[in-house]
Structure 1
C-alpha cells in the first residue's frame, strides 16, 4: 500500500531578502516535514541567518511566503510562533537565575503549567536531576545547551530551529545532543538545523540544502549529494581522504575561499 507523504510543517517559497541594494536571499525554497531533520548549510555570509530570521519572524522578507504548521508567518505570526521552538547558538538566559527558575519562567510565557513532578522529570531527562537550584551561569556549555533545548521544546512545538547548537561542545556533549535530536524526530517533531560541521550534517540530517550567495545550490539527502557530485573535478580536488565525504562536496560546490 502506498503511503501518503506528510504535509510540510515548514514551507518556504521564493524567499527574497534585501539589505539596501544587497540581496542576501534569492528565491530560496524548501520544506521540512514531520519527523525530519533538515540541515541548512552554507559558508559565512551565504544567507542562512537571514533565512532563519525570516522564518522566526525577526525580519520581514521583501517577497516570498513562509508557512509554519499551515500558518503564514506574516498573516498569523502568533499562530506560527506558537508552533515553533528556537534554540540559538549562544544563550542569553539570566546567569544568576537557577535552572528551575529559568525553565518555569519560559514555561509560563507559553502558558505551560509545570508540576513539581513534571519539573523533576524534565531535569532527570537532561541529566540535571540534582541541578534545579544551580545557577545557569555555573553550568558547563553542554549543560546550558541541554537547558536551552528544553526551553525551545517546553510548549511541544511542531518544529524546532537549532542554530549551530553544538558549536563549542566537546564530543560527548555533541553526541548527546545528536541523540536528543533523534528522540525529537522519533516523536514526530520536525527539526531545522544549521551547522558548520559537515560530519554532523552527514550523521543526523535526513536532507540538506546548501545555500551560497543567497541561493540554494543543492538540496537532497547527504548520500544522494555525495553520489551525484563524487566525480566532479572540484569535489575530487577537495578530497583529502580518498573517500568522498559531504565536506568534500560542500567545498567543491561553494569553493575554497575563506568567508569573513
Structure 2
C-alpha cells in the first residue's frame, strides 16, 4: 500500500553559531504531510520556517533528525529529492538581464525538461505572462517577477512545490492572483508546502497548518480545529489606558453578553489563527 504521506519529518533540529553562542533555529519538530494537500508553516520572522524549508529542499543540512520525501531521505538521497520538488524562494534569484522566456529556457535545459517550448508557453500562460515572454525581467514589477518564479518552479512539473513566503511584500490584489496559481497547482494533484506570516493567506490556502514559534512546533491541525482552541468569537475592547483587551467565547451569544457588560469601543468578530498564536505564546505574528 502506497504511503499517503509524501513528506515525513522526525525530530528535526538545526542550530547555528559556536556552542557558547548557539542559536536554535529548529527545535525537535515532527510532522507529516499528505499527498495532494496544501501544508502551511505559520509564524513570525525568526520562527524557523525558512530553515525548515531549506532542510527539506536540501539547501541546509540538519544537525539531527530525519526528513523523508516520497520515500527518499533528504540527507542521503538529495538528487532524488531535487527531481521531485520545485522551489519558489523568498529571495528573487531570476536573471534580470534575460527575458522571461530565456529565464525559463535555461532553467528547463538544466533540468532536462521534455517538450520544453510547449511547457514554457503552458506555464507562462498559467501565470498570465505569455504576452510578456520577450520582455526583460528587469522591466517587470515585483508581482510579475513573483509570478515568473512560480512558472519556473512548475516547469519540470514537480510533485511537490515549496513556497517560502511566496507573497511577501506584494499588494493584496497581486497576492490574491498568486493564491489562484497555488490553488491551480493543488488541483493538478501536487503537494504544496508554504511558509507565511500572513494569517489570511494561511487560512485561505492551507488544509493543515503547523504554527512555529522560536523554532518549536507549538500547534498542528486544520485551520478550523486550531481556531477551536480559542473559541469561535472574540470580543475586542480598548481599556482606559489604550490597551487592547480580548475575550474569547465558543458562541456569539456568549460574546454578545460580554460585550453588553463592557463600555464603548467594543468589537465582536470571528476568531483567527493569530488569536491561536496569542493564546499559545502570549505574542503576535509580526
Superposed pair shares fold, TM > 0.5? yes
Please say which of residues 158-167 and 170-179 is displaced more in the overlay.
Answer: 170-179
Alignment of 1:1-260 (within 5 A): 7-19=4-16, 20=18, 21-230=22-231, 237=246, 241-256=268-283
Task: Provide the rounded CA distance (Å) in 1 between the counterparts of 2:224 and 2:195.
Answer: 18
Q: CA deviation at 1:176?
A: 1.4
Q: 1:12 to 1:250 in 2, by over 3 A?
A: same
Q: 1:173 to 1:230 in 2, by over 3 A?
A: same
Query: Contact 1:163/1:193 (CA < 8 Å) preserved in 2?
Result: yes
Once the two structures are superposed, residues 39-88 of structure 1 have per-residue CA deviations (whole angstroms, 9 ceiling, x without a partner) of: 10112222212211211212211111111111101111100111111101
Describe the SS at the equivalent of 1:229: coil
Q: CA deviation at 1:124?
A: 2.2
Q: 1:109 to 1:238 in 2, by over 3 A?
A: farther
Once the two structures are superposed, residues 88-133 of structure 1 have per-residue CA deviations (whole angstroms, 9 ceiling, x without a partner) of: 1221211110000000011111101345444333322221222111
Query: Contact 1:199/1:247 (CA < 8 Å) preserved in 2?
Result: no
Between the two structures, name the one with larger relative contact order (CA 8 Å, sep ≥ 6).
1
Query: Contact 1:107/1:114 (CA < 8 Å) preserved in 2?
Result: no
TM-score of the aligned structures, taking structure 2 as reference length: 0.82
Describe the SS at the equivalent of 2:131: coil
Q: 1:191 to 1:210 in 2, by over 3 A?
A: same
Over aligned residue pairs, what C-alpha RMSD do you find? 2.5
Once the two structures are superposed, residues 213-240 of structure 1 have per-residue CA deviations (whole angstroms, 9 ceiling, x without a partner) of: 211110000100001222899x983876
TM-score of the aligned structures, taking structure 1 as reference length: 0.90
Query: Contact 2:45/2:197 (CA < 8 Å) preserved in 1?
Result: no
Task: Provide the rounded CA distance (Å) in 2 between the counterparts of 1:5 and 1:187.
Answer: 19
* Greater Rg over alpha carbons, structure: 2
Aligned residues: 256
Q: CA deviation at 1:244?
A: 1.3
Please say which of residues 243-252 and 142-151 is displaced more in the overlay.
Answer: 243-252
Task: Provide the rounded CA distance (Å) in 2 between the counterparts of 1:238 and 1:17.
Answer: 37
Task: Provide the rounded CA distance (Å) in 2 between the counterparts of 1:251 and 1:84.
Answer: 33
Q: 1:196 to 1:98 in 2, by over 3 A?
A: same
Describe the SS at the equivalent of 1:30: strand
Task: Provide the rounded CA distance (Å) in 1 between the counterparts of 2:142 and 2:23.
Answer: 36
Please say which of residues 201-210 and 117-126 is displaced more in the overlay.
Answer: 117-126
Q: 1:161 to 1:119 in 2, by over 3 A?
A: closer
Q: Which has the higher strand share?
A: 2
